[in-house]
Each structure stands twice: as C-alpha cells, then as structure tokens.
Structure 1
Amino acid sequence: MGVDGSAVVVAVARTPIGTAGHALAGLSVEQLAAPVLGSVIDRAGLDPHDVDEVVLGNCLGPGGNVARVSALAAGLPSSVPALTVDRQCASGLAAVGLAAHLVRGGASAVLAGGAESASTAPWRSWPPEDGGEPVRYERAPFAPAPADVDMGLANDLLAEEAGVTRERQDAYAARSHRQAAAARDAGVFDREVVPVGGLTRDERPRAGLTVERLSRFPAAFRPEGTVTAGNSCGVSDGAAAVAVVSAEMSQRLGLPGLRVLSSATVGVDPTRPGRGLVPAVRLALERAGAPLDRIDVVELNEAFAGQVLACCDELDLDPDRVCVEGGALALGHPWGASGAVLVVRLFSQLVAQGAGGLGLAAIAAGGGQGVAMVVESC
C-alpha cells in the first residue's frame, strides 16, 4: 500500500479495566468513553475541529448512539458526527477498521474504539403475554435457534473438539495473569491508561493465580467440561480509543504510529463462534502479504483459554507468542472495547516501547464472526 493511501494510528488510550460491579460500577458507558477520547485528541495534538468522525463499538449500552453521546461528553464540537458499531465482542476492532476505511476514503482524522459498562447496562425484558409480567432475558440471541449456543458452552465444545486439555487451559490462564500482573506492577501499562473513577490500574490480574489453584475450579458450563471461571475472561467495564489519521495528517503531526496494512472480517459456524478469528487472521495476513512467522507482536482476545489454544493450534501459532504482557483472561473483557484494547496494546509494544515491526490483532464474536488487523510501525 502506498503511503499516500495510508491510515495511521498515531495515538491511543484506554481506561483501566475494572471487574463488573466493582471499581468502575458507578460510571456509565459515556463516562468511560469520554476521557479516552479526550486523551487521544491531546496525545495526538489534534484540533478537535479537525476530527471528521467518531466511531465506537458497544454491545450492551442504553442506545441513543453511544458514540455520539460520548463524543459530546468529551467536548468534541457538535459538528463532528458519530457512529456506534455493534459486532458483539469484535465491535472495537471493527470500529478501528472502519476508521481506516474512512481515512482511505478521504477523512483526515477519525477517533475510533469502543466502550462497555456491563455494570450499568440496562435490563431488558420481553413484552408480557396474556396480561402477564414482562420477562427479563439475560442476553440477546447471537443466532436463530437452535444455533444460539451460549458462549461458554460453545467454547467448551470447541476446546474438546480441538483436543485442548484442562491442564493446558489452566496453564495458559495462569500465564496470562502472571504476565499481566508483572507488566502492570512494572508500570508497563501506565502510558496507555487514563485513570477514571478513582481507578488507576487494571483491577483483575492476579499474580498468585497458579495452575494448582486454577485446577480446583469446577467446570462452569457442563459437568464434563474443561472451561471454568478461572480459565475464562471476566465480565468487565472499560473503554479504549485510537486516533486514525491520513498520511498527510500524520506527517503534519510528526508522530510515529502504526500503519494499518489490512483488515478482514469473516463469518463462521455460529455454534462455534470462538473459531472466528482463525479465518480472519488468515485473510488479513494474505491481504497484508505477511506470513504469520513475520509478525512480531500478536494480540488475540483471550475470551477463553481453551478457545485461544484451539485457534493457535489451528493456525500453527505458538501460544507463547500471544499476549506476551497478558491478555483478557487477566485484564478482563469489556465486550465492545476489547478489540480496540488489542490495538492499544500493539501500539504500546511496537511504538511506545520501540520494538517496531509488524503486529496482528484478532478477535472472535458471538454469532460466529471474526475480525483481524495487521499493522506495521512507521
């Protein structure tokens, strides 16, 4: 791709990720998103009037166009339009991909990312029948019946079919916590995190969550299963945003960044949604002209250890290359934001830490979809 047609990520920010019902439970979704949008504008040195669009992913919000409410709450001019994207867990990465498309189509600067407040998401109910009471439902369907399988059960079955043992899952989950806790405590995340609600660092990582402790957790989704609360991600609150700008704007700002080389979105069997990142990764790599062994930093959303390991096995990807500073198993999974968190993490490692090279982000989504993106430092 020629430089003139490039879309470049020049600034990133995220909130600390909080466990639902805990430190960030009092903040609405726009109260999470607005601070990171404002921080990204400041970090990029953008004039708010130069922003062409705001695109945010969200799954459970109150409606009313979360991106628009968040943009206004961040102090962006009312002339800046905003779009909310729902591709379930992949919403945040889909929003960044859409921002890159908008920039290639002529926009100069787009703010993109995602936000989720599981703690304050409204309760919804089916309309009453025959004069009865409304019936609350726990989640919207991911697919028509009978393909509408709960995510935990679907990924437990995926792990079984892929031959991923409970021992491997617990070892991978323990690694995620160990490495995320070490990175957090060493201040590695400090440059990317914007404190909100009195929380200054990620709430969930546990350095002492060993394989031995994880082995005591019971199966969570079926009696003979291997997926547990310990080797699954947590339900979380958080937000993340990035500034995606044109090559000309990037040169004007004089900032290093990540050039978006390719993105890909795919659909897979909705009864095995966790597999969605596999064909998305393959297609994104093909479009970028970069084989997997050339990728320097790999960030996959760790929804379930068994799911990540099954996908790594299918991709012939060494799991030790994935999320080397910990992932969603430790940090948490604020659904609409998680895909954008992956891009923040790539930026931190490839740009802020000076590693350079190529990066890959990928995430699977309910309903059987996957999104992947390949970037390079520039």
Structure 2
Amino acid sequence: MNKAVIVEAKRTPIGRKDGMLKQFGADELLSPLLKHAARMSQNKLDDVIIGNVVGPGGNVARLAALEAELPISIPGLTLDRQCSAGLDAIRLACCLIQAGAGNGYIAGGVESTSTSPFQSRARFSPDKIGDPDMGAAAENVASKYGITRKLQDEYTLLSYERSIHAFKHSLFSQEILAVNEYNQDEEFLKERNIEKLVRRARPVFNKENGTVTAANSCGINDGACVALVMEEGLAMEMGLQPVLRYLDSVVCGVHPDYPGIGPVPAIQQLLNRNNLTIAEIDLVELNEPFAAKVVACSKALSIPYSKLNVHGGALAIGHPYGASGAMLITRLFYEVQRRNNCNYVLAAIGSGGGIGLAVLFEVICKKKQRLS
C-alpha cells in the first residue's frame, strides 16, 4: 500500500465575520494557498480537494484552482461534511494516495462567512430525530455529560492563555500565508480583558439554567487552510521533507442532538483498531466550537490538557467552518517540528448532524532545521 504524507501546510490569517477579510470571497482566500502548495509540488498534482460549508456554492475548489493558475488539467473537488469538511478533505486525499489513485493533492478547506449568500444554516437532521442549532446542541452535551459552567470557563481561559502565548511568541506566523496586508489573526489585534469577559458572559442558548455563553463559544469567521499531501516515495524523490505520515482514520455518526460528543467514538475506534491507547498519543488537536464539547471529550477519553490543543484553538482564534479541520492538521504539522519526542498525533472534530471524525498520523520528522 502506498503511504500518504503531509509535506506542507499553510493557512490564511483568520478574520471575524464582516471583519478584516470581508472583501475576500472563498476562492480569493483559497487561491494564494493553492499557488504556494502547487509551487512546492512542482505541479505534480492529481486534484485539489476543498471543504466548504456556507457557500458560495458551486465547485469552489475548481474555481480557486483556476484563479490560482494551476494547470487546467487539475479538476477540483468541493465537499461538505459541515465542520468536518476540511479535515475530511485531507483524509480523502490520504486515502486516494493509499489506494494508488494519485500521488499528489492539495487538500483543506475555506470559509467566507462574510460573503456567503446563505442567510440561515442548512438542516442537519430531520425534525423527527432532532435538529438543534449547534449552541443548543452544546447545551445538550453539557447537560448530559455534567459539564458545568465553571469547567467550561476554566477551559476557555486556558485556550485563550495558550493562544495568546503562541501569538506573542510568533508561533502562528509559521502557519500563516498573508492575505494582502493581513498577516495576523484578527482576534489578537486588540488587547482585551478575557477573564472579565468570560466571567461576566451570560448564557445564550438556555437563559434560565444554561452554561454555554458567547465567551465560552467560538466566533463566526473567515479563513482558509490547505495541506500538501503526497505519496511518500515521490515526495522524497522531489527533495520534500515528509513530516506526518497518514496511518488511519474513522468517521462515525452519533445522535444529532449531541454532535459535540462525536469525536469520542471515532477516537475510540481509531485507537482500538491500531492497538494504541490515548497515553501513546503525544498530541491531540480537537476543534473548539464550544468549551463544553472539548471538556466532555477530554473527560470521556481521559485526554490530559497537557497534550490537548497545546496552543489553544477556535475559542480564541475563530472557527471558519470548512477550514477548521485542516487547521488542526496544520497546527500538528508545525508543533511536532518543535519537539523531539512525538511519535503519534491525532486530529478530531465533531460536526452538525452528529458526525465524529478522527485522523491518526505517525510523526516522521522530529524536528526541521528551519523551526529549531
């Protein structure tokens, strides 16, 4: 079986909805990333696979590939698995390489909520089963799994603390490809008293006894992120350094009322199938749409915070839906290069409709000179 590896990963800075990136459509956010990855691949590409959730519709991957002046022979595929889309795009590219269907892919996701033509979300599930908004679903998870407001706020502050530390030490700059003059995440452009905001925030989705607030939830954001996925032998022939080797992945369904718990069965199946325990996983990146979800998954899987989202995540930086899953892999891609002791890492995400997705990688480049 062929081996799929990640040899490059980049993202745009993340902007707030109607914020600094509001004038850029999805294809405009994506095309500079495609150009960068295509140059690295020397255009030895079979396809561009992009996750997108809120539009503009059509085949954004094809549009952006043409906008980026990639060879016309590269077709482009756009997929939607809600917030899992960007992670699933990379997963699909890896599986295609394993199967021998191709040797080189640019995969990831994009979201321009500012320019989306859709004013309301799509249906996640039939009403007869349950189709809660994601905030209400986070309250469901918090209630069912005993995740208190205190636990959520504590994790939120930890995520902000880690993200701000990473920003101040320029760790995020290694991930970011500037969009015109924008080269920093918008959330860090203003100094704010985060602790006061978190403590004073009121419940949004259940006014009487709710625990989910605007502060312990992510924002609505614009941004794009891609990885260059190649067959390992070809990458080595081209002089590219593989960093992460794809090992396995699991995607599964959970009840649509509790989508935030989706990563739990996906990760459990993935570990069991590969005869691993959570103790043998060195780093875990888990999307952060709501603190309730992260705390619930951490408790259910016994993931210590010391190896979970070590530089924060969507609570602080933002959640550009289609791109967020690809950002998890991008974060792992750079973090393992700063460490000498990582062997296995995984990325996981839960999404609307009750979907859990987890992807397992082996670390094959302990440290790169340019990050040392």
TM-score, normalised to structure 2, is 0.93
- Judge conservation of contact 2:135–2:205 (CA < 8 Å) in 1: yes
Matches of 1:216 and 1:265, distance apart in 2: 37
Do structure 1's residue 183 and structure 2's residue 178 form an aligned pair? no
Equivalent-residue separation in structure 2 for 1:351 and 1:38 (angstroms): 24
The Cα of 1:353 is off from its aligned counterpart by 5.5
Paired residues, what number?
A: 359
Say if 1:351 and 1:377, in contact at 8 Å, map to a contact too.
Answer: no
**1:211 CA drift (Å):** 3.5
Which residue pairs with 1:273 in the alignment?
Answer: 259
Once residues 353 and 58 of structure 1 are traced to their aligned partners in structure 2, the CA distance between those partners, rounded to angstroms, is 32
Which residue in 2 is equivalent to 1:216?
Answer: 200
In 2: Cα distance, 1:64 partner to 1:121 partner: 12
State whether structure 2 residue 213 is matched by structure 1 residue 228: yes
**Cα separation, 2, equivalents of 1:169 and 1:121:** 30
The 1-side partners of 2:49 and 2:274 are apart by 24
Following superposition, the deviation at residue 209 of structure 1 comes to 4.2
8 Å Cα contact 2:252/2:266 also seen in 1:
yes
Distance 1:148 1:248, change over 3 A: same
Residue 36 of structure 2 corresponds to which residue in structure 1? 39
> Structure 1 stretches of 5 or more lacking a match?
125-137
What displacement does 1:41 show?
A: 2.7
> For the structure 1 residues 71 and 353, does the alpha-carbon distance in structure 2 shift closer, same or farther, using more than 3 Å as the test?
farther
What is the DSSP-based 3-state SS (H/G/I as helix, E as strand, rest coil) of the residue aligned with 1:116? strand
2:109 counterpart (114, 117, 122): 114
CA contact (8 A) 1:178 1:208 kept: no
1:349 and 1:355 in contact (8 A); partners too: no
- Which shifted more, 286-295 or 264-273? 286-295
SS in 2 for 1:5: coil
Matches within 5 A, 1:298-317: 298-317=284-303
Structure 1 residue 322: Cα displacement? 1.1
Deviations 1:42-89 (A, max 9, x none): 3xx3111x1001100000111120111111111111101111110000
| Counterpart contact for 2:185–2:317, Cα < 8 Å | yes
Q: Gaps (5+ residues) in structure 2? A: 365-372
Note the 1:1-378 alignment, pairs <5 A: 5-42=2-39, 45-48=40-43, 50-106=44-100, 107-123=102-118, 138-146=120-128, 147-205=130-188, 208-223=192-207, 224-254=209-239, 255-351=241-337, 356-378=342-364
Q: Distance in 2 between matches of 1:180 and 1:293?
A: 24
Post-superposition offset of 1:363: 0.3
Question: RMSD of the TM alignment (CA)?
Answer: 1.5
- Please name the residue that 1:134 is paired with: none
Kindly state the Cα deviation for residue 253 of structure 1 after the two structures are TM-superposed: 2.6
- 2-side partners of 1:199 and 1:272: how far apart? 36
Q: Deviation at 1:213? A: 3.2
CA distance in 2 between counterparts of 1:333 and 1:15 reads 12
Q: Which residue number in structure 2 is paired with residue 133 of structure 1?
A: none
Give the 3-state SS of the residue equivalent to 1:204 in structure 2.
Answer: helix
1:17–1:201 contact (8 Å) kept in structure 2: yes
Q: CA deviation at 1:207?
A: 6.8
Query: Relative to structure 2, which stretch is displaced further, 339-348 or 318-327?
Result: 318-327
Checking the alignment, whether the CA contact within 8 Å between 1:270 and 1:366 is kept in structure 2 is yes
**Superposed displacement of residue 289, structure 1:** 3.0
Name the CA distance, whole Å, in 2 between partners of 1:239 and 1:212: 31
CA distance in 2, matches of 1:319, 1:163: 18
Q: Percent identity?
A: 41
What is the identity, as a one-letter code, of the residue corresponding to 1:155?
A: A
CA contact (8 A) 2:29 2:110 kept: yes
| One-letter code aligned to 1:258 | L
**1:172-223 C-alpha deviation (Å, 9 max, x unpaired):** 1111111111101211111210011421111114775444431110101011
